[in-house]
Amino acid sequence: MAENKDQAKIKEAVKRRKRETYTPVVPEMQLGFVHNNVDCIGCRACEIACKDKNGLPAGPRFRRVQYIEGGTYPEVYAYKVNVSCNHCAEPACLPTCPTGAIWKRKDNGIVDIDSTLCIGCRRCEAACPYGAPQFIPEQNIVSKCNLCVDEIEAGRKPYCVMACMMRTLDVGPIDLLRDNNYPTKAIGPQEEPIRAVKNFANPELTNPSIVFVAHSKGKVDQ
C-alpha cells in the first residue's frame, strides 16, 4: 500500500521548487565508490546486503552486479562491473525532480531522496544514465542508494562494502581514490584506478563519484 502523503507539504514544495534556480552543490568533501572489476567474483553479497538494509521488495535493486563476457575460444574473458548510485558531482536526476525531493548533502556530497516529498513521477529514473533510481510500486515512490548515510555518520562503511568478502568494493573521498592516495584493499599495489570502463555510461555526462580497477578487456580510451 502506498503511504499517505502530506499533500499540502508537497504542493508547497512544488511552489518552492518553481521559484528556485538550480545551482549545483559543491560539497565540503565528496564521498565515492571504488570497484575492482578484476577481483570481483560476482557473488552478489553486496546486492543482498543492500536489499536487506533498505527492506526492498522483489524487483528494485539499488546495487547491481553486471556480468560481462566476451571473446571466442580460446581467447575468452569475463569480468564484473558493480554499480549503484554514483552520487554525481552534476547529478542528472536532481534538477528533474518537481518537488525538490532529491538533494545533495553539503558535507559529504551524498545524493539523497526525501521520500515524503516524492510523488512517483519517475522523471529522475528517466534522467539517470546509470539506472540508479528505482521505482517501488508498492509505495509509488522512487528510491535509491544513499550510501548508507546513517552508517557513514556513525563512522562505519555502507552495508554493501561490509558484505564484500573479496574487499573489491570500498568507499572513500573520491579525490583521494582517483589519485590512488586512499588506503583501500580494493586497489592492489600495481593497480591504477580509472574513471571509465566499458558497459558504463560516459562519466562526462554527470561526473560520477566512482573509480574502477578495470579488466584489460574493459578499459576504454581516456
pLDDT digits (tens, 9 = 90+) for 136-168: 999 999 999 999 999 999 999 999 999 999 999
Give yes or no for residue 206 having a pLDDT over 60: yes
| C-alpha to C-alpha distance for 167 and 147, rounded to whole angstroms | 17
Judge whether 94 lies within some domain.
Answer: yes
Please check whether residue 83 is in contact with residue 46, taking contact to mean a CB–CB distance below 8 angstroms: no
Grid coordinates given for 154: 556513525
Mean pLDDT of 75-81: 94
pLDDT, residue 7, reads 80
Confidence category of residue 5, pLDDT binned at 50, 70, 90: confident
Judge whether 83 lies within some domain.
Answer: yes
Judge whether 37 lies within some domain.
Answer: yes
One-letter amino acid identity for 127? A
Judge whether 85 lies within some domain.
Answer: yes
pLDDT, residue 23, reads 80
* Partners of 135 in beta bridges: 142
Please check whether residue 122 is in contact with residue 142, taking contact to mean a CB–CB distance below 8 angstroms: yes
pLDDT digits (tens, 9 = 90+) for 102-149: 999 999 999 999 999 999 999 999 999 999 999 999 999 999 999 999
CA distances from 82 to 16, 69, 86, 114 (A): 36, 14, 11, 25
pLDDT, residue 221, reads 67
Surface-to-core class of residue 15, CB atoms within 10 Å of its CB (0-12 exposed, 13-18 middle, 19+ buried): exposed
Smallest Cα–Cα separation from 108: which of 9, 11, 25? 25
pLDDT, residue 222, reads 52
Give yes or no for residue 1 having a pLDDT over 60: no
Write down the residue that cell numbers 529522475 correspond to.
124
Surface-to-core class of residue 151, CB atoms within 10 Å of its CB (0-12 exposed, 13-18 middle, 19+ buried): middle
Whether this prediction's pTM lies above 0.75 is answered by yes
Grid coordinates given for 91: 547529478
Question: How many domains, in total, are found in the chain?
Answer: 1
Judge whether 222 lies within some domain.
Answer: no
Judge whether 23 lies within some domain.
Answer: yes
CATH number of the domain within which 17 lies: 3.30.70.20
Judge whether 1 lies within some domain.
Answer: no
Domain of 46 in residue numbering reads as 7-213
What is the distance, to the nearest Å, from the Cα of residue 213 to the centroid of all Cα atoms in its chain? Answer: 17
Judge whether 219 lies within some domain.
Answer: no
Mean pLDDT of 70-98: 95
